[in-house]
Amino acid sequence: MKRLLLSLGAGFVFGVGLLISGMTQPAKVVNFLDVLGAWDPSLGFVMVGAIGVHFLAYLLVPRLAKPFWAKSWDLPPKKGIDAPLILGAVLFGAGWGLGGYCPGPALTSVVAGAPPTVLFTASMLAGIGGYALWERFWANREVPGMAGGAL
């Protein structure tokens, strides 16, 4: 229960930060990407702030024996650049640039109920679910010459 409340609190603080910074407005994102037109650098300042906070946490994490509110670290095992990572980054960037939302602001903005935001968020969640089904399908398939059905 404590972990759930901490997650809810962190999500609330994140959402409030998005609202205060104006990052729930697709025009902010589109104008940030429009460097030859109505360029708005404010998203860049938000990114630099977020990178700074992450960098400090990145330096702190290896010095801690265990997390504050968990029994052990749950860090991703993969540390390389591969085709799925590149494809995912391209899809994320295309959706972000075309829709003006990334997942956090989309989920924060869907509360307002604007039809374009609801459609974007529903499409994003359908894409996430579709990918999970695709991965499950390929994980259970045997491909000749490959161990465990890996591609």
What is the number of structural domains in the chain? 1
Terminal Cα distance for the chain, rounded: 39
Selection from 70, 61, 64, 25 nearest residue 46 by Cα: 25
Q: Judge whether 45 and 117 are in contact, CB under 8 Å.
A: no
Q: Which domain holds residue 79?
A: 2-149
Q: Judge whether 19 and 104 are in contact, CB under 8 Å.
A: no
Q: What is the pLDDT of residues 60-114, one digit of tens each?
A: 887 888 887 778 877 777 778 888 889 888 988 888 888 888 888 888 888 888 8
Q: What is the pLDDT of residues 112-149, one digit of tens each?
A: 888 888 998 999 899 889 988 988 888 877 656 555 44
Burial category of 118 from C-beta neighbours within 10 Å (exposed 0-12, middle 13-18, buried 19 and up)? middle
